[in-house]
Structure 1
Amino acid sequence: MNKKKIVLASTLAILLAPAALNTLPTTQIVHADTQLIGTIRRGGAVAVDGNGHFINGAAFGNFTSWKLGQRITIGGNPYYEVATNEYVDASSMDITQNGKLLNPINNQISYINRVETVGSKAATIVNNNGAATGVTLPAGSAWKVDQVRYFNSYPYYRVATNEWVKALDFNVASSVNNDSQTVTTTPTAHQPITLRTNATLYNGNGVSLGTTLPKGSSWKVAQEKTINGHQYYQVATNEWVLATEDKNTSVFSKGTATVTLAKPVQLYDTSSNSMTRTLPAGSSWKVNATVENSAGYFFAKVSNNEWIPLGSSIFTDNVLQEELANSSAYEPYFAINLFK
């Protein structure tokens, strides 16, 4: 999807060395003379100040790139300075040095502190490499979780040293309770689909193949499948795309979508045209609409006047976040004051 760049304050000349992002102390400021570049991931980003407070007007469009300054930690998570006292969450960016990606999503860790309860089925434990250990957590049992990371694009919570459980295996929203359920149907006289973005290809288990189909291309659909509560269309042998990649398919076609926050998120309020209250990590909300503005930034509606900015990996279900973005109506002037 082509995105318009936005112009913000000038970036710093002080640059940061490539220290490990996943093993940071609770407070830290790092300076060095090596160059890091941060490219904003899909969904955009909003800057905070050194105390973690959101800054009105300091918003960054999709796929724009910035020289990174000092690194600090806020709530145990790394942030980089991109302008004077303006910091962006490391998880909102692809961070590179001399063209080498330093923070692939599967290696990123964010820090949390809460208790989660396993759903109606036993939950499989995987190790730090994403491999099943052969051990499960019993249905209904409660566990303290302290970190979040991704395996095969799905978020996992750490329940003990070298032990991780998929976030969807815990009690979250009812819309994702059938985590392991896969239903395949053969459509009757399904019309060809036309892709609204450069669409990621998945295999029959919903795992990314690492390739895409071009935006605007049309494909015949052989089958429909539901994996972990998400609808996919088969376009070739063992090649599937999210149904919402089709221009005529919306995640809201069957009603509202329920999202669960992986981290605290500040809301945009249309009545005051500003960022207002913050929703806590772990809370769930019904979304009945999403919009995209001319800066390429997405918002999800959770009440009459309140909208969640769809920053990087803010939901426990990363695929749902993609579906919400795909289903957005284009409102060029929505919250555009944040981008001036």
Structure 2
Amino acid sequence: MKKITKGLVFASLLALGTGASAVPTITSHAADTYYGFTNIGSSVVEIRDTAAQLYDSYGDPLGQYLPMGSKWKTSLENTLGDGSYYGVATDEYVKATDVNLSASNGTSKYGQTSATNYDGVSVTNADGAAVYDINGDPVGKTLPVGSDWKIDLQNNLSKGTFYRVATDEYLSANDVRVYQNTISYPENKDITTRPGRPAGLYDHNGQYISERALGPNTSWYTDEFCDIGHIGYYRVSTDEFVRAVDVY
């Protein structure tokens, strides 16, 4: 994920289109587990064939279910190692494979919607990502783990969510993680974490740092505000960021 400063925003944003090609591989993401949050605007998910399990932000089941056919507002996508989840309440998520997504641009149930919320995808499956056609059927090709690809469309099928990387070539959301360019703004102030629970830390890609956190109701100096996946973060240490919603 590239990091760009405010003055270079417009010069650095990528134009996505049909027939997108690979960008150079920088590192393997196979060991990644938490990939962060993406603001997807005002959207709706409809529970598909059976009742859908609810999960927390780490992908752990909560033992609660949403009934088949029910519809829920969502504005947050949580991308974990086993695929994407959509937020339907505070720390409550449903798997993308259990729902139909009606995106904010009006796409209803199955079908394609613009992937402009993202700049591309990185292959995270250690065995590589199988390539599928528009119907979700494999075409006999595989893209290597760690490779990065531009995308322009998100294809929501009964088989799951797929991202287009070339003409009639798609990757399953379960084999990749989405990424966006990171935009940074200089800051010079103190912030205080909210009371009640520790505030999670994330790296510059919005990936969760599981072994560290900030104590509740503690103050920290920040020198930078970042837009990572359309979610606001403050930097509190070298490559350690806290979500803006977790501080005041």
TM-score computed with the length of structure 1 as normaliser: 0.32
Question: Is the radius of gyration larger for structure 1 or structure 2?
Answer: 1
Higher relative contact order (CA 8 A, sep 6+): 2
TM-score computed with the length of structure 2 as normaliser: 0.42
